[in-house]
Chain A
Amino acid sequence: MLQKIYDWIDERIDITPIWRDIADHEVPEHVNPAHHFSAFVYCFGGLTFFVVVIQILSGMFLTMYYVPDIENAWKSVYYLQTEVAHGQIVRGMHHWGASVVVVMLLLHTLRVFFQGSYKKPRELNWMVGVLLFFVMLGLGFTGYLLPWDNKAYFATQVGLEIAEQVPFIGDQLKTLLAGDSEIVGAQTLTRFFAIHVFFLPGALFALMAVHFILIRRQGISGPL
């Protein structure tokens, strides 16, 4: 039955090559922890992706309750944390995932660096990876403000003061981020929300797509 449905769809839109492109690739011996346990260092990239998926899913559920507004942001998080079924777990996953993803990114970067895997022909993919690291730090910085508690507010205050000290464009940069040259308030919160939920994830997905397409095109770097 299932096979018939699949064949019916496949005949019309030819889906087999699409998933075959994703599924068919080799796993060389030197990266396979089943053969050499030390090859677990090759897992860090995949685990980073795994945590990113956790972040996307838990973040999607968080926005069901979160209200990006200075009156209600903290209250909505408090409500989510104390009243909503499993709300504490979902928020916990997003909170800890943000730290774990940075750790995994760091480990993955160090693995690639110390193995010299970024050398020709993989220079471009290394640069895409470093950009992914920056995007992830940006997600961490903007996500920190969203609960609108003291920690969030004052850390953002400091971050914006640092941005203000950049020569020439400092004031504009601060206004761009905060929505106002003086106040860290309602505008700041909605901006950080938009950056955290739309702008940076968009950049993240685009860069991840390039990262993965390049990996597939070039293959994993060989053994040292």
Chain B
Amino acid sequence: MHKGKGMKFVGDSRVTAERTSQIPKDYSEYPGRTEAFWPNFLLKEWLAGSVFLVGFLCLTLAHPSPLEGIADPTNAAYIPLPDWYFLFLYELLKYEFASGPYVIMGILVLPGLAFGALLLAPFLDNGPGRRPHQRPIAVIMMLLGLISVSWLTYASAAHVDWETRAEENKPIPPSSVEIDTEHEGYAFYEENCMSCHGGELEGGGAAPGLIGIDYSAEEIADIARNGINTMPADQFTGSDEDLEKLVDFIITTNEQAE
């Protein structure tokens, strides 16, 4: 590049009129089999990225993200649990030396020491050697830290029954349906249908909700007798008259919900 006199610019701008080369740099003088990032390595890298993305999307499709019921501050029975990567900190607070009067130990001193040491690792481990066996103290401290974090996470997660937890906290949309318990069909609903379709016809894990369904009275009666999809037959075994009352209850509740 020119300096001072003789520099040419585009118009009155400060953009130089001399074009820079578009040919990639030559790395043949570099040690070993050094490659240019652009375009050689990037061509391979995007393939690895694609494989990763496909795996990630498979995970997403196989396990839809969980959502529990809407937050209810009055729910005293709920046992709180943080996200998995905070479980170790949460579990730490259950130890005697890190809770109650010593809680400062659990919330500040121990995590502060661990993360502080992590932040300042280059200054604590400042010898010239890079190989693990040349810096045994740093490596042992890191391994101990890893083991403790893994153990605490395991201890915290092991006694949690994740499936029951998810089952008990299903998301139920707030319904505006008012159930007419005086309706003569309600008793039959309560007896035959409620255990799966829920007290407010909202549905549950095994059965869909019954609000906003697109069936005629005959079809509902037929489903109650003969089942549909995964619903087995003979869920309702009463008389035809009672069945009529049940169907009327479902239909009037639906009409009222609209």
Q: Are A and B a genuine interacting pair, yes or no?
A: yes
Spell out A's residues near B (CB within 8 Å): 10-14, 16-17, 20, 23-30, 32-35, 43, 46-47, 50-51, 54, 70, 74-75, 77-78, 81, 88-89, 91-100, 102, 110, 113-120, 122-123, 126-127, 130-131, 134, 137, 140-141, 144, 147-155, 157-159, 162, 165-167, 184, 221, 224
- Residue from the set B10, B118, B123, B125 with the largest chain A CB neighbour count within 10 Å: B118
- When the two chains form their complex, are residues A152 and B139 in contact, meaning their CB atoms are under 8 A apart? no
**Distance between Cα atoms of A146 and B45 in the complex (Å):** 35
- When the two chains form their complex, are residues B65 and A32 in contact, meaning their CB atoms are under 8 A apart? no
Residues of B within 8 A of A165 (CB): 103-104, 107
Residues of A within 8 A of B57 (CB): 89, 93
**Interface status of B56 (Cβ within 8 A of chain A):** yes
**Distance between Cα atoms of A153 and B63 in the complex (Å):** 22
- When the two chains form their complex, are residues A32 and B10 in contact, meaning their CB atoms are under 8 A apart? no
**Interface status of B215 (Cβ within 8 A of chain A):** no
With A99-B85, A116-B131, A130-B119 as contacts: A26 and B80 at CB distance below 8 Å:
no
Residues of A within 8 A of B35 (CB): 26-27, 29, 32
Across the interface, B56 reaches (CB within 8 A) one of A54, A150, A221, namely: A54
Closest to A147 in B: B67
- When the two chains form their complex, are residues A17 and B34 in contact, meaning their CB atoms are under 8 A apart? no
**Distance between Cα atoms of A33 and B41 in the complex (Å):** 10
Distance in angstroms from B191 CB to nearest chain A CB is: 30
- When the two chains form their complex, are residues B56 and A16 in contact, meaning their CB atoms are under 8 A apart? no
Enumerate B46-103 residues with CB–CB distance to A below 8 Å.
48-49, 52-53, 56-57, 59-61, 63-73, 75, 78-86, 90, 93, 103
- When the two chains form their complex, are residues B24 and A28 in contact, meaning their CB atoms are under 8 A apart? no
Residues of A within 8 A of B34 (CB): 26-29
- When the two chains form their complex, are residues B63 and A92 in contact, meaning their CB atoms are under 8 A apart? yes
**Distance between Cα atoms of A148 and B72 in the complex (Å):** 9
With A93-B56, A149-B171 as contacts: A20 and B20 at CB distance below 8 Å:
yes
Chosen A-B contacts, 26 in total, with CB atoms closer than 8 Å, are A14-B15, A20-B20, A27-B34, A27-B37, A27-B41, A28-B30, A29-B33, A29-B35, A54-B56, A98-B83, A114-B139, A115-B130, A119-B125, A119-B128, A120-B126, A126-B122, A130-B118, A137-B86, A140-B86, A147-B67, A148-B71, A151-B80, A151-B169, A154-B79, A158-B90, A165-B104
**Distance between Cα atoms of A151 and B170 in the complex (Å):** 11
Distance in angstroms from B121 CB to nearest chain A CB is: 6
- When the two chains form their complex, are residues B78 and A154 in contact, meaning their CB atoms are under 8 A apart? yes
Closest to B134 in A: A116
Distance in angstroms from B209 CB to nearest chain A CB is: 11
- When the two chains form their complex, are residues A78 and B135 in contact, meaning their CB atoms are under 8 A apart? no
- When the two chains form their complex, are residues A89 and B60 in contact, meaning their CB atoms are under 8 A apart? yes
**Distance between Cα atoms of A140 and B82 in the complex (Å):** 10
Residues of B within 8 A of A28 (CB): 30-32, 34
**Interface status of B25 (Cβ within 8 A of chain A):** yes
- When the two chains form their complex, are residues B48 and A33 in contact, meaning their CB atoms are under 8 A apart? yes
Residues of A within 8 A of B104 (CB): 165, 167
Residues of B within 8 A of A151 (CB): 66, 68, 80-81, 169
**Interface status of B174 (Cβ within 8 A of chain A):** yes
Enumerate B160-175 residues with CB–CB distance to A below 8 Å.
169, 171, 173-174
**Distance between Cα atoms of A113 and B131 in the complex (Å):** 10
With A96-B63, A134-B115, A147-B67 as contacts: A113 and B52 at CB distance below 8 Å:
no
